[in-house]
Chains A and B, each alone.
Chain A
Amino acid sequence: MQNLGIDVLFKGTNMLRLLGGLWVSLRISLIAVGFSIALGIPLGMLMTKDSKIVKAIARLYLEIVRVMPQMVLLFIVFFGTTRIFGWNLNAELASVIVFSFWGCAEMSDLVRGAFISIPKHQYESARALGMNSFTVFFFVILPQTLRRLLPTSINLVTRMIKTTSLVMMIGVVEVLKVGQQIIEANRNSSPNAAFGVYGTVLLLYFIGCWPISMLSKYLEKKWSNS
């Protein structure tokens, strides 16, 4: 069998650099996930209200995010807006902005869906027990909503982590880019590095996403009896 090209990873600090790249990927996605949750939940709750204007704006936002490829969004924000508005945006910040913009839209839609799936009777039976709107929301509606939200939002998080592989296109040195650099630098000494390095990158993504999936499975199981 051919040399798998894993050996390059043990040269110098290559493995450490790759892990550093993974951290960049995770950092971008986790910060974006943070923003998406923080902004998506209130936005999603707003979308359950009956206002036509709010609904129209939210709809428009959601559609824009859905039809636009993330890469185009990245290019617009990083190359486009920096010229037009003359501001200085580093590539990582631009990535966080784009991923938050995307995540927030998807998150708000998930939140909206989870909230409207709670039967009207749940509110009524809670109110009939003398609870005020605050108690109804925090003790009856919210816990049920979060349980329903969990699987879909975890799915969104892992999708966001995976999609960060795009940010190398605007010059962020994340795990895939580091892998590419390592392969380039060792083109002559280990021509098979592409397999070993990209294979390792794949494994690193798996290591990044798998625990999150497991956590979701665990919580789902723990909450399944409810």
Chain B
Amino acid sequence: MSKKEEIVRVDHITKRYEENAILEDFSLSVYEGEVVVIVGPSGCGKSTILRIMNGLEPVQKGEVTYRGEKVDGKLGSITRIREKVGMVFQSYELFPHKTILQNVMLAPVLVQKRDKKEVKEEALQLLSRVGLSEKKDNYPRQLSGGQKQRVAIVRALCMHPEVLLFDEVTAALDPEMVREVLEVILSLAKEGKTMVIVTHEMAFAEAIADRVIFLDAGHIEEEGTAEEFFRHPKSERAKQFLNSFTYDKVVHE
């Protein structure tokens, strides 16, 4: 993995909300074609990392670089980098006043100034890939949560990002819709897309991750391959965390 080119580097980041330190001296590198899954108890700063990677969150110390280019507060550099970094949010946040197709086409046409016809063709192709081409003229509110989230993924993909960030994309979904979204992400992983995923779906994390990062209270508690982390966790905190997803069988006395 280390032979591959480093795409994103989060370098010694410290992030505080007022007095509370969310992240303390946090560093992470993501390499080309790698799928990094960040897990950890809620409030440990997982989502904040993704938001920092996309420049949505100011930091007190440290820096983020993309292929060596520094992400700073300057508008030009941040928007240029955001084009290369797709982000999908928990609450999908499609634009409610635009149709599905318009949602997908807006940024490529407006931001990347690409040819409308070419973008439309690609958008339709991507929509059909996630099984939603017949919804292209519908509005977001006419879609289910799972469908909206698939559109949000397509919307990010249509920008040709080099990295995709997924921020608890299934957390707001009904259980029966989780799979249809995760399968889309799994198929992207098979294609070799570089991704950073924050999730609470442990089975999914285990299936997709090249590398698992277990975050606790703002620092990396444990890091390893999916196999290592899920089958042979080393730290006590990780064991505790993984146990919290299983239940002991009730024995009637």
User: Are A and B physically bound partners?
Assistant: yes
Number of A-B contacts (CB under 8 A): 70
CB distance A128 to B82 under 8 Å?
Answer: yes
CB distance A226 to B83 under 8 Å?
Answer: no
Determine the chain A residues whose CB is within 8 A of the CB of B95 once the complex forms.
122, 125-126, 140, 144
Contact of A119 among B82, B87, B93, B97 (CB under 8 A): B93
In the assembled complex, the Cα of A139 lies from the Cα of B156 at a distance in Å of 17
Is the contact region of chain A dominated by helix, strand, or loop, or is it mixed? Answer: helix
Q: Choose, from A9-17, A130-138, A200-208, A212-220, the stretch at the interface.
A: A130-138
Determine the chain B residues whose CB is within 8 A of the CB of A7 once the complex forms.
none
Residue from A125, A126, A127, A144 having most chain B Cβ neighbours under 10 A: A125
Question: Contact flags (1/0) for A121-155 with B, using CB distance below 8 Å?
Answer: 11011111111110100011001100100000000
Closest beta carbon of chain A to B154's beta carbon, Å: 12
Q: Kindly state whether residue A23 has any CB partner on chain B within 8 Å.
A: no
CB distance B79 to A124 under 8 Å?
Answer: no
CB distance A130 to B75 under 8 Å?
Answer: no
In the assembled complex, the Cα of A226 lies from the Cα of B95 at a distance in Å of 9
Q: How large is the interface on A (under 10, 10 to 19, 20 to 34, 35 or more residues)?
A: 20 to 34
CB distance A225 to B83 under 8 Å?
Answer: no
Q: Kindly state whether residue A79 has any CB partner on chain B within 8 Å.
A: no
With CB as the reference atom, state the residue of chain A lying closest to B97: A226
Q: How large is the interface on B (under 10, 10 to 19, 20 to 34, 35 or more residues)?
A: 20 to 34
CB distance A121 to B110 under 8 Å?
Answer: no
CB distance A130 to B83 under 8 Å?
Answer: yes
CB distance B54 to A128 under 8 Å?
Answer: yes
18 new A-B pairs (CB below 8 Å) besides A128-B82, A128-B87?
A: A119-B93, A121-B89, A121-B91, A124-B89, A125-B89, A125-B94, A126-B95, A127-B79, A127-B82, A129-B82, A129-B83, A130-B80, A131-B79, A131-B110, A131-B111, A143-B97, A144-B97, A225-B139
List 19 A-B residue pairs with CB atoms under 8 Å apart, sorted by A's residue number: A122-B95, A125-B87, A125-B89, A125-B95, A126-B95, A126-B107, A127-B56, A128-B56, A128-B85, A128-B156, A129-B82, A129-B83, A129-B155, A130-B80, A131-B79, A131-B111, A133-B75, A139-B106, A226-B96
